[in-house]
Amino acid sequence: MDYEKLFRLDGQRAVVLGAGGGIGREAARALAAQGAHVVCADRDTAAAGETASLAGASAEAYEIDLLDQDAVHRAARELGELDTVVLTAAANVRKRLLDYSREEFDRVLALNLGATFETLRAFGKGMTERGRGSITVFSSIRSLLVEPGQGPYAATKAGIVQLVRTAAAEFGPSGVRVNAVAPGVVETPLTEPIKADPAWYQAYADKSALGRWAKAGELAGAVVYLSSPAASFVTGSVLFVDGGWTAVDGRYSPPGA
């Protein structure tokens, strides 16, 4: 093992699906900084182009609608041999179950779980045939812990974990690794409704052991790690990057503690 290149991705080709902003944008920038040629894929081509510009000369933009399964499989063919696939795109409708419509449920399910399923199938096929590759999908702390108003979102994030584990078991004999990253609360466009409420925002900050929210860039290291030689024996894992959220049992500190 060449420890000087433990996290380097020189000569590798990567695609980040959902690279138009938030965690996806920072993941693309981080992968490029470690030497990868990065395809910044997003439905918003202008945003994907902006990410590619930020990532540098080794990056390019690509338009994709992850809700179109044919487009996902077409991308897997058009982008050629890839070493790394990262899927960050997600949707959430914050409503209690009794207020949820079936249309809203299907919308969250289609992107969070449906796109994960198609990504694993489309890109996993070529990787298993070539005998190498890494796929990283984003789950959430909600795969373990729920709160009112996040039922369908939590269900999809739990489902992602099981899809990742299954893919790891099925692709592993061919040399392909599949893992998930599970963030805590992160400042992204998806969490704007929470940030807009100061009390809600602070309550989430107080829940983590570090007492704050994460910046999107703080998830990029997990992506680089799982994509790099440093994680060559890591597959079927869920890496929690949550500031200690899942380690803390409630917000109450007993007297004398």
List, for residues 208-217, the tens digit of each pLDDT value.
Answer: 999 999 999 9
Asked about 100 being catalytic, the answer comes back as: no
Catalytic residue, chosen from 62, 100, 153, 201, is: 153
Kindly indicate the confidence band of residue 252, based on its pLDDT and cuts at 50, 70 and 90: low
Q: Rounded to the nearest 5°, which phi and psi values hold at 172?
A: -55, -45
User: Which residue matches tokens 């704007």?
Assistant: 192
The 10s digit of each residue's pLDDT in 40-51 is 999 999 999 999
What does the alpha-carbon distance between residue 19 and residue 144 come to, in Å, rounded to a whole number? 26
Mean residue pLDDT across the chain = 95
- Tell me the domain boundaries of the chain: 10-242
Q: Which helix (H) or strand (E) holds 38?
A: strand 37-42
pTM: 0.95
Q: What is the CATH number that goes with domain 10-242?
A: 3.40.50.720
